[in-house]
Amino acid sequence: MISIKKNAKKDVRMSLMKLVDNRKLHLTYVTIDTYDAGIELYGFEVKSLRQKLGSLDGAKVIVRGGEAFLVGSYIPPYQAKNTDKSYDPYRTRKLLMKKEELHTLAANEQSKTLTLHPQSLYVKHNLIKCDVAVCKKKDARDKREDIKKDIARREMRG
């Protein structure tokens, strides 16, 4: 007998829960492509992220020596008084990706017009993942068009 889950859509929604989002990214960059990556964290950093503490403002992704790293993200300790004094909340964290994805990211990073930024940190099947975006900087004309679209949307709502 085959059993079918009644709430399959609900299970998928629950397994993808955003913890931290980079909201300012869409103001200055256009996202071209995205990649999923695992992230190496300490246990107390995981607890802190599950409390939705932390920030990706000003964070970047760099590829060096065939490995990807998350630089400039802020993840505070879960219990600051129980954490080692030498802990740096802005430390560089290693991203875990497939080799083919790393090669394409390295090629995109070498390009003068493209940059790599983290879009969000989220939970997928009990693992914390990082959504890495390949971005291109918006020019003034694109920003003005976005503002016009926002104004039109507000007027349509009422």
Going by pLDDT thresholds of 50, 70 and 90, the confidence category of residue 79 is confident
Q: What backbone phi and psi angles, to 5 degrees, belong to 150? A: -65, -45
CA–CA dist 9, 132 (Å, integer): 25
Residue whose entry in the numeric block shows the structure tokens 């990556």: 37
Question: Looking at residue 3, what is its pLDDT?
Answer: 45
> Across 7-11, 138-142, 152-156, which has the greatest mean pLDDT?
152-156
* Contact status, residue 19 vs residue 121, Cβ threshold 8 Å: yes
Question: Looking at residue 80, what is its pLDDT?
Answer: 77
* Contact status, residue 109 vs residue 63, Cβ threshold 8 Å: yes
Q: Please, which residues bridge with residue 96 across strands?
A: 38
Going by pLDDT thresholds of 50, 70 and 90, the confidence category of residue 129 is very high
* Residue 1, pLDDT above cutoff 50: no
Question: Looking at residue 63, what is its pLDDT?
Answer: 95
Region 38-42: mean pLDDT is 94
CA–CA dist 97, 120 (Å, integer): 16
Average per-residue pLDDT in the chain? 87
- Residue pLDDT, tens place only, 41-76: 999 999 999 999 999 999 999 999 999 999 999 999
* Residue of higher predicted confidence among 71 and 16: 71
Region 85-98: mean pLDDT is 93
Cβ neighbourhood burial of 146 (10 Å; 0-12, 13-18, 19+): middle
* Closest listed residue to residue 116, CA positions, set 24, 40, 35: 35
Class of domain 17-157: mainly beta
